[in-house]
Amino acid sequence: MYATATESNVRYRHGMSIGQGNGRDPLTDDQIRKVAPSVFADKPWQGMTDKYLFVPTAEIVGAMRREGFEVVQALQGKTRIEGKGEFTKHMLRFALPKTLSVHGSVPELVLVNSHDGTSSYRLIMGIFRLICKNGLLVASDVVADLRFRHAKSLADEIIEGTGTLVREVPRVNDQIERLSGIELRPHERLAFANAAHHLRWSDGHSPVRPEQLLETRRREDEATDLYTTSNVVQENLIRGGLHGRTATRQRTKTRAVQGVTENIRLNEALAILANTLAREKAN
């Protein structure tokens, strides 16, 4: 249903930015183009009306690079409509220049757009966890979530928006510190996993049990604080690879989430879950 290239599917399943093994090296235009060709569209999808003002994502990427932001991950959704693959929704994650890590995580900027009218430009604050190369999103009740209409001044507006979000970095770091300082009891971790499980498999058969979302992939993930727990659950939800059973009891593995829309939906919902639990614990 999603993803545009075999290379992207393989690399994204292993949590790597396309073309780079460490997940933080800047991607070249050629590397981005392999998995997100829509970034370089030079016109909108043919189904758009004359009222649609086309502003290529590549133009915004260039403007952000000049400000010191480099693309470190690219993702694009697939489409079943012939010829539309060059215009669909895409997501780019940008590393912030000279950013220090907090609990092994660094803030980053996430840009979302499409050239088929399914998405306006959107700029979100993200978090990149260095040890597992996970890309989280920050809940909108913590920092601003900026949306932009396609307009002639769009590049300037987005650059101004990056400044707005970068000024929120201390709040993001405070949030990481706060969640890292909240210890969860076993039943609280399981409740978090249950809620996350419902987010992805609310309809139909689930191949795995909720408690499997708490399975760790490395020693550092054995901590029971809220931040680590949310990262573990997010990685298992998004990256997949958990062993389970189909509805007919056949062995299977959960698939990685490769669609832009679903990736953002799950990430934002998990961020809200974590913040809600943090507030409940505080009270």
Q: What is the pLDDT of residue 99?
A: 80
Q: What is the largest CA-CA distance in the chain?
A: 56
Between 32 and 153, where is the model more confident? 32
| Res. 81 pLDDT band, cuts 50 70 90 | low
Average pLDDT value over all residues in the chain: 83
Q: If you write DSSP's letter for every residue of 88-108 in order, what string do you get?
A: S-EEEEEEPTT---BTTEEEE
**Dist. CA 109–CA 156, nearest whole Å:** 16
Average pLDDT over residues 65-78: 90
Residue 112: pLDDT over 70: yes
| Res. 147 pLDDT band, cuts 50 70 90 | confident
Domain ranges of the chain: 6-177, 180-282
Residues 26 and 283: beta-carbon distance below 8 Å? no
Residue 187: pLDDT over 60: yes
- Partner residues linked to 128 by β-bridges: 106, 135
198: closest CA among 187, 209, 189, 214? 209
Q: What is the pLDDT of residue 138?
A: 83
